[in-house]
């Protein structure tokens, strides 16, 4: 088999890249390790920057999003029971779209499955070959049969534990990493959201986030120790803890119900540089991870896919400048998002044994609540306005 671009991983980065390349007339094949049902069942991010919505629209997969998504002009930031609204629309002229990653994946899969054979699920033992020369290829196993896919380029879109980045010699790659000493316990429930907009709450018991997927579906998170197991968090304990961490008036309105999904996610910051190794290009979580507080992970993955699709399209028209500068351009945006996600996590979470840090958090919250400049900085970063970055 032969294709122009072999894409490893069928998450948002891989699927969006595949769809954008398809629209440019560039042949590509996506190799995904898991089943379609598994990929579509993973509950992850929910907040889209305007730039991501624009990309999905350009990719021709925005029809359901236009019908079902919620549009938010701001968020509530609560600190030890006091709440302030950050009015994105007034501060930046734009807002964010609330639409689940699972729905985006479904929409993209729907578009891509029309191209029969171009989307291979349950591809086992994917291996990358010769990407430092002119004839790269990828091998994989499906139903016990080994296949070889010759290609011009390989796009590594296989997330943080994928095979693509792991195939690069250690000496060619530089890793920047910072651990976060706690996790997020997330719950999805078929209940109406507690508020019309998201609530990010700092509390001495730990961070809490009230988000949503629709007017009847809520997504809530609480900061928890990384050592906690799901068994330690029956629904009743989760709702009780959430209620204690958000402002009283919100807690009084909270409608609880059985969880339909519950998981604990570790938090970390991670960047691999560069994002290109000859004919292998990394995109999305394969190259970088941010703590979820700023809702940037999915948005960065989509931005990489957009930049890479445009660079491949230019290459096939005879212009390699996009591919040559891909890594440098993406890393500018990545580091802006890494900085914001780190800062926002540090502002809103509880850190053990750090009374000095707790006072700094309080001062910072006061500043955001009273200074338009400080609130604008938060708002610009949240909606994804990164001047000077690609």
Just list the catalytic residues.
72, 200, 292, 296, 382
Strands (E), 60-197: 70-72, 74-79, 82-87, 96-98, 119-120, 124-129, 137-142, 145-150, 153-156, 174-189
The backbone torsions φ and ψ at residue 300, rounded to the nearest 5 degrees and listed phi first, read -65, -40
The site partner of 293 among ligand FAD, ligand DHB, none (C-beta below 5 to 8 Å per kind) is ligand DHB
- Alpha-carbon span 358 to 347, nearest angstrom: 9
Site string for ligand DHB, 200-219 (x = CB under 6 A): ---------x-x-------x
The site partner of 163 among ligand DHB, ligand FAD, none (C-beta below 5 to 8 Å per kind) is ligand FAD
- Alpha-carbon span 338 to 333, nearest angstrom: 9
The site partner of 250 among ligand FAD, ligand DHB, none (C-beta below 5 to 8 Å per kind) is none
Q: Which of 49, 107, 250, 285 binds ligand FAD (CB under 6 A)?
A: 285
The site partner of 245 among ligand FAD, ligand DHB, none (C-beta below 5 to 8 Å per kind) is none
Using CB under 6 A, which residues numbered 232 to 271 contact ligand DHB?
none
Using CB under 6 A, which residues numbered 3 to 62 contact ligand FAD?
8-14, 31-34, 39, 44-45
Contacts of 286 (CB under 8 A, 6+ apart): 9, 13, 156, 157, 158, 159, 160, 162, 164, 165, 272
How is residue 83 annotated by DSSP?
Answer: E
Contacts of 310 (CB under 8 A, 6+ apart): 20, 322
What angle do helix axes 355-370 and 372-383 make, rounded to 10 degrees? 100
Number of residues that bind ligand FAD (CB under 6 A): 31
How is residue 156 annotated by DSSP?
Answer: E
Q: Exposed (0-12), middle (13-18) or buried (19+): which is 104, by Cβ within 10 Å?
A: buried
Q: Which of 91, 295, 303, 338 binds ligand FAD (CB under 6 A)?
A: 295
- Alpha-carbon span 164 to 25, nearest angstrom: 25
Place of tokens 């005879």: 318
* Minimum CB distance to ligand FAD, residue 254 (Å): 20
Return the number of the residue (99 or 140) whose C-beta is nearest ligand DHB: 99
Using CB under 6 A, which residues numbered 313 to 372 contact ligand FAD?
none
Number of residues that bind ligand DHB (CB under 6 A): 10
- Alpha-carbon span 47 to 210, nearest angstrom: 12
Site string for ligand DHB, 291-330 (x = CB under 6 A): -xx-x-----------------------------------
Return the number of the residue (94 or 139) whose C-beta is nearest ligand DHB: 94
| Closest to 10 (Cα-Cα) out of 25, 29, 24 | 29
Q: Which stretch binds ligand DHB (CB under 6 A): 26-34, 289-297, 329-337, 346-354?
A: 289-297
Site string for ligand FAD, 56-95 (x = CB under 6 A): ----------------------------------------
- Helices of type H across 78-201: 88-92, 101-113, 163-166
* Minimum CB distance to ligand DHB, residue 45 (Å): 5
Contacts of 276 (CB under 8 A, 6+ apart): 282, 323, 326, 327
Largest Cα span, the chain: 63
If one asks whether residue 297 binds ligand FAD (CB under 6 A), the answer comes out as yes
* Minimum CB distance to ligand DHB, residue 118 (Å): 29
CB 125 within 8 A of CB 86: no
- The footprint of ligand FAD (CB under 6 A) covers 8-14, 31-34, 39, 44-45, 101, 123, 126, 157-159, 162-163, 265, 284-285, 292, 295-298, 301
- The footprint of ligand DHB (CB under 6 A) covers 45-47, 198, 209, 211, 219, 292-293, 295
């Amino acid at each position: 088999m032969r294709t122009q671009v072999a894409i490893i991983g069928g998450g948002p980065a891989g699927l969006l890249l595949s769809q954008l390349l398809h629209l440019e007339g560039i042949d590509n094949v996506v190799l995904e390790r898991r089943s379609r049902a598994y990929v579509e069942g993973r509950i992850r991010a929910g907040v889209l920057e305007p730039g991501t919505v624009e990309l999905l629209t350009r990719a021709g997969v925005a029809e359901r999003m236009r019908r079902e998504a919620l549009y938010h002009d701001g968020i509530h930031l609560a600190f030890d029971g006091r709440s302030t609204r950050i009015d994105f629309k007034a501060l930046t002229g734009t807002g964010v779209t609330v639409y689940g990653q699972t729905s985006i994946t479904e929409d993209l899969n729907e578009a891509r499955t029309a191209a029969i054979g171009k989307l291979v699920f349950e591809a086992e033992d994917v291996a990358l070959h010769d990407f430092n020369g002119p004839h790269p290829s990828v091998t994989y196993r499906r139903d016990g049969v080994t296949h070889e896919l010759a290609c011009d380029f390989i796009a590594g879109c296989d997330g943080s534990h994928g095979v693509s980045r792991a195939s690069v010699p250690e000496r060619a790659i530089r890793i920047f990493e910072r651990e976060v000493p706690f996790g997020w316990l997330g719950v999805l429930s078929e209940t109406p959201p507690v508020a019309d907009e998201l609530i990010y709450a700092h509390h001495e018991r730990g961070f809490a986030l009230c988000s949503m997927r629709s007017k009847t579906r809520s997504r809530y998170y609480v900061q928890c120790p990384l050592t906690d197991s799901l068994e330690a968090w029956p629904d009743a304990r989760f709702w009780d803890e959430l209620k204690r961490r958000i402002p009283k008036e919100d807690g009084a309105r909270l409608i609880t119900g059985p969880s339909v999904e519950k998981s604990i996610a570790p938090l970390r910051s991670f960047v691999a540089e560069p994002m290109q190794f000859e004919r292998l290009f990394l995109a999305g979580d394969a190259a970088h991870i941010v703590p979820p507080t700023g809702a940037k992970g999915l948005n960065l993955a989509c931005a990489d896919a957009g930049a890479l699709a445009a660079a491949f399209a230019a290459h096939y028209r005879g212009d390699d400048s996009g591919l040559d500068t891909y890594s440098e351009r993406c890393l500018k945006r990545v580091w802006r998002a890494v900085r914001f996600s780190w800062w926002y996590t540090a502002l809103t979470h509880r850190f053990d044994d750090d009374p000095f840090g707790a006072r700094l958090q309080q001062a910072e919250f006061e500043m955001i609540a009273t200074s338009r400049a400080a609130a604008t900085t938060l708002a610009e970063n949240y909606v994804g306005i990164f001047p000077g970055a690609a």
